[in-house]
Amino acid sequence: MNNPQIAPILPPELIDAIISEVDSKQALLNLRLTSKSFREMATPHAFRTFDIPMKSNAAKLVAEFLEAPHLVKFVHKLRVNAQEGTKAFWDVIKDTEGNDVVMHPNLDEREGEPS
């Protein structure tokens, strides 16, 4: 389906609902490259979670990202990856009162493990 008119034909709310179901960051980043309309709609979803890799250049990556306020404003969740390629990370999320909360998603799994 190669229809450049798809964005104007479908209501923005429907397109946004479809985009919100995309769970691949790379797919969202690719979608941003297809048109100006899709870039505007996919950007908030693509940058909703910001992953900080625990690498030697992590500070540089964060500094560069913070210099892009047009992207930073979309971040709702910050993840600091313990090791690249693992699922171990800490989440910084907002609670219902807007406070930052640090969570580790695997704590429940670890509680039953022997120390």
Residue by residue, pLDDT tens for the chain (115 residues) are 455 555 558 888 998 999 999 989 899 999 999 999 899 999 999 988 888 777 767 778 888 888 888 888 898 887 776 554 455 555 566 667 776 665 555 444 444 444 3
Q: What pTM does this model have?
A: 0.58
Give every strand in the sheet of 77-81, ordered side by side: 49-52, 77-81, 89-94, 100-103
* Spatial distance between the Cα atoms of 81 and 54, rounded to a whole number of angstroms: 6
Tell me whether strands 89-94 and 49-52 are parallel, antiparallel or unpaired: unpaired
Domain positions in the chain are: 1-46, 47-115
The encoded tokens of residue 64 equal 């560069």
Contacting residues for 2 by C-beta, under 8 A, at least 6 apart: none
